[in-house]
Amino acid sequence: MIQPIARSLKALVEKRSTLEFPESREPLPDNYRGKLRLDMNTCISCSACERICPNKTITMVDVLTEKGKKVMPQIGLERCLFCALCEEVCPPKCLTLTKNYDYEAYDKRELLKRPEELE
């Protein structure tokens, strides 16, 4: 009986071993690769990202912009390897990997992101 009480009292004064996620988070390394970001204003619709993607998770889809209809990458994050090859080949550097890892979903179809959702 004494032991559980002693353990509870100890836990009250001890430093916490877990983080209060999502309010506090572990610092990420500089080279951490997370969710992709697309700057739709500078994408030139060249499809280089689609061609280089080793897991074929990029598909060019129609997007209506102020300048008319263009094609831009739609990305299935559930199949992304975070290899950064698409970022490397993108001529205007408008497709970049961020440190954002908040993209969990119950249904993997929610991870299929249209260009507008990558901004």
Phi, psi of 70 (to 5 degrees): -135, 165
Q: Is 86 in the site for ligand SF4 (CB under 6 A)?
A: yes
Q: How far apart are CA 1 and CA 5, in angstroms?
A: 7
- Which residue's CB is nearer to ligand SF4, number 8 or number 90? 90
Q: Is 75 in the site for ligand SF4 (CB under 6 A)?
A: yes
Three-state DSSP state, 63: strand
Q: Is 63 in the site for ligand SF4 (CB under 6 A)?
A: no
Closest CA to 70 of 6, 114, 4: 114
Q: Is 85 in the site for ligand SF4 (CB under 6 A)?
A: yes
Query: What residues line the site for ligand SF4 (CB under 6 A)?
Result: 38, 43-49, 52-55, 57-58, 72-73, 75, 80-86, 89-92, 94-95
